[in-house]
Structure 1
Amino acid sequence: METWKRNLYILMASQFLVMSAMSMIIPFLPLYLKDMGMTDPKQVQWWAGLIFGINFLSAFVMAPIWGSLADKMGRKIMVLRSGFGMSIVIALMGLAVSPLQLLLLRLLNGTVSGFIPASISLTATNTPKERTGYALGMLQSGAVAGNIMGPFIGGALAEVVGFRMIFLLTGIMITLATLVVSFAVKEEVKPDPSEKKAGFFADGSQILHEKRLLILFSVGFMLQFAMLASMPQMSLFVDQLGAPGGYIAFFAGAVTAVTGMANLLSSPRLGKLGDRYGSERVLFFAMLGAALFFIPHAFVTSVWQLLIFRFLLGLCIGGLLPSLNNLIQKNAPPGKESTAYGYSTSATFLGNMLGPIIGGYLTGFIGIRGLFLLTAAMLLIGAMWLKKGLQRVAVDSPRTHQFPPGKMPSAR
């Protein structure tokens, strides 16, 4: 088997294990706080939200730093650093005896995290250019499958072994995935040790002066903001629609799962289309499709209708992040791919943080149906911004790329 294919399949399986492990704790986090002695429901909700979100805050700050180090030291070592670091921190969460200790450990976990971005960077830089879209789509499928299965596995295991043991099992799963990467993944394209390396701030300045990358970072933020804005309200929306048999929790989970399943199915196929026709075209039309399928969300009258449109939405979502990551790799300065991914990860984490917060606030004024329409409008604006922005940069900055006026730059 070719090295890049072996790397891809191993990293795909590792991402599945890591994302399964990371998402296993989501279903019982509020219950874990109650197990620590917290009884006030409002206090439990507040702490659960804070503990969940603090991980994104520290990861948002650290992602560019780890990305810059990956360009200097190698991408594989960053995967190993993150994997072993997270396995230790998460195992320690099972020993926490207070919400504050759990909060600090989640903060530390975000600081050492980066397994997924480092895996993406390692794959993108060690895969033939004509197959990068397909490879990143496959990675996305592994991560999504882990996100789908993790909560189900975590919920089942919590009933059998208890909350604290879940954290230990999570740490073991991440350790195993990291060990497999350590022994089986080969990094063929490595940083040149003889090349003089710029400092972190010089790297950042170079990345942030690339207009194409700034457009892509802003699109990444908009995507994550739009996708997560309505997620915390989804169970309430299912309740409003009237869950069949009164199984609100089951159908709320199904709404999320069916979107993930569609994402899982479409990511590799849309990645191949990106390799053939250009990832910027796939990203543009996937954003348009997601916007169009968000609109009927505002008019559904039953859970079954919602499930259908969530599935169709998921088919479009499968083309978003893989295409975006492929474009970032294509437009990053040579040798600065991981640094570019670091800033891209920060932008998406910012969307992860602000989307649910602002979405929840806006829901109080316009309702969740209004939020769906607002999300659709945001994705439409984002698609236009992507297309027009890249066209304008192609005309204004022809120093590295030459494109005919009115044409979007091809990532092929």
Structure 2
Amino acid sequence: MERWKVNLAVLWFGNFLVMAGMTMITPFLSLYLQQDLGVTGDHEIGVWAGFIFAANFVTSFFFQPLWGKLSDRYGRKMMLLRSGFGMSLVIMLMGFATAPWQLLLLRMMNGVISGFSPAAVSLVSATTPKEKMGFAMGTLQSGGTAGTILGPLIGGVMADTFGFRPIFYITGSLLFVASTLSWIMVKESFDREAAARRPQASMIKGFRELVRIPQLPALFSVTFLIQFAMLSPMALMPLYVKELHGTPENLAFWAGFVGSVTGFSNMVSAPILGRLSDRIGSTRILIVSLIGAGVMFVPQAFVGSVPQLLVCRFLLGCFVGGLIPTVNSLIRRFTPDGRESRAFGFNSSFLALGNMIGPVVGGALSGFIGIQGLFLVSAAFLLATSVWAYALLQRRGARAAGR
């Protein structure tokens, strides 16, 4: 098998486990806060759940550019291993938390040492032939997105089977396995001497250099808006499922299933849409996916049962598969050689910012508009983002570069 395919396969698996580990607590977080950590009241639980879920992304937002800079200087594989082994330890420690503030601090620490996914994206982009870039980005991102969405299902099943705390120990062990596989099997051709001779700009100066490229600020903004819209209802999803389900039996499982069903369709659609973007253009796929995802959020506000919600979430995943992969593909095409890791690091910061603000705003607004209102807000954001992407990419000459 060609080297780039081996790297892609191993990092797909690693990306899946890393993102699953970050989101595995989603289906039972509100129940865990209520039953084990003594938090009472739906609104208070929603606020705590929003902050704890977002805490990982708060610190990630600030530290991702640093890891991107060091990746360009010392190599992507080193950043993979630093992040993977570090997160495996921190997540295991989460199983010992006895108060919500302890879980909050550990989630913040997890964000500090994160960086596996952007390093994986950078490594794959550097080793993949340009004519296969859309397919590779779609395939790799399908692993991360599938982990993000399937993580809640895995967490829900394990919560019903083992209880809440053992999930953290299992997750940490899986991340250790993924990091070990990356250490042994992933190969990178990286010239440290050449990287050392290359001028090293500060993070602020490096950011200024990148934003002078007209398309990159637009892509960073699109990444933020996508994540904000996708994540704002997630923290409240278990309570919505509880309302629709009407019984506490297997509640964690159904909450996890609803949160994860998007991942099943995403796993299939992301590589297909990535391959299609290599043929007709990444920008076109991005805009169509934004419109489709926005439309599919609307019926989720009006469903009357869990099966209806499952169908809507599945169809949503068919369009989600064309979002972040096409953004990553476009970033690689517009970024000068030798600055890829830094560009992906900044994009990861904007992704983390959306992940951070989305659940917090969603938790705060839930007391006023309910989760049904959050679905409609997410729909409006995604549809508005499609207009934003068209204006800033298609009309600024990105059509030719995205082909």
Q: TM-score, normalised by structure 1?
A: 0.86
2:90 — aligned with what?
89
Residue 104 to residue 293, structure 1, CA distance change in 2 (3 Å): closer
Contact 2:39 2:45 in 1 (8 A): yes
Return the offset for 1:54: 1.5
1:335-377 CA distance string (max 9 Å, x none): 1111111111111111112222323444444444444333323
Determine helix, strand or coil for the equivalent of 2:400: coil
Contact 2:10 2:181 in 1 (8 A): yes
Q: In the TM superposition, what are the counterparts of 1:86-125 in structure 2 within 5 Å?
A: 86-125=87-126
1:17 — aligned with what?
17
1:260-314 CA distance string (max 9 Å, x none): 2111110110010111111111101111111222233344444433322222111
Q: In the TM superposition, what are the counterparts of 1:307-326 in structure 2 within 5 Å?
A: 307-326=310-329
Residue 52 to residue 290, structure 1, CA distance change in 2 (3 Å): closer
The reply to whether residue 354 of structure 1 matches residue 357 of structure 2 is yes
Q: Which amino acid aligns with 1:125?
A: A
Residue 323 to residue 345, structure 1, CA distance change in 2 (3 Å): same
Return the offset for 1:195: 2.4
The reply to whether residue 212 of structure 1 matches residue 215 of structure 2 is yes
2:57 — aligned with what?
56
Instruction: Output the CA distance in 1 between the equivalents of 2:71 and 2:381.
Output: 33
Instruction: Output the CA distance in 1 between the equivalents of 2:45 and 2:315.
Output: 35
1:400 — aligned with what?
none
1:67 — aligned with what?
68
Contact 1:125 1:189 in 2 (8 A): no
Contact 1:138 1:267 in 2 (8 A): yes
Determine helix, strand or coil for the equivalent of 2:393: helix
Determine helix, strand or coil for the equivalent of 1:182: helix
Instruction: Output the CA distance in 2 between the equivalents of 1:351 and 1:315.
Output: 21
Contact 2:152 2:256 in 1 (8 A): no
**More displaced stretch, 254-263 vs 339-348:** 254-263
Identity of aligned residues (%): 48
Structure 1 stretches lacking a partner, 5+ long = 395-406
Determine helix, strand or coil for the equivalent of 2:399: coil
Residue 379 to residue 34, structure 1, CA distance change in 2 (3 Å): closer
Instruction: Output the CA distance in 1 between the equivalents of 2:232 and 2:151.
Output: 21
Q: In the TM superposition, what are the counterparts of 1:120-131 in structure 2 within 5 Å?
A: 120-131=121-132
1:198-219 CA distance string (max 9 Å, x none): 2323212212322211001111
Residue 86 to residue 374, structure 1, CA distance change in 2 (3 Å): closer
**More displaced stretch, 150-159 vs 172-181:** 150-159
Number of matched residues? 399
Q: Which amino acid aligns with 1:284?
A: I
The reply to whether residue 271 of structure 1 matches residue 274 of structure 2 is yes
Return the offset for 1:86: 1.2
Return the offset for 1:180: 1.1
The reply to whether residue 410 of structure 1 matches residue 401 of structure 2 is yes
The reply to whether residue 256 of structure 1 matches residue 259 of structure 2 is yes
Contact 1:58 1:110 in 2 (8 A): yes
Q: Which has the larger radius of gyration?
A: 1
Q: TM-score, normalised by structure 2?
A: 0.88
Residue 189 to residue 266, structure 1, CA distance change in 2 (3 Å): farther
**More displaced stretch, 311-320 vs 90-99:** 90-99
Q: In the TM superposition, what are the counterparts of 1:327-406 in structure 2 within 5 Å?
A: 327-394=330-397
RMSD of aligned Cα (Å): 2.8
Contact 2:156 2:252 in 1 (8 A): no
Residue 285 to residue 157, structure 1, CA distance change in 2 (3 Å): closer
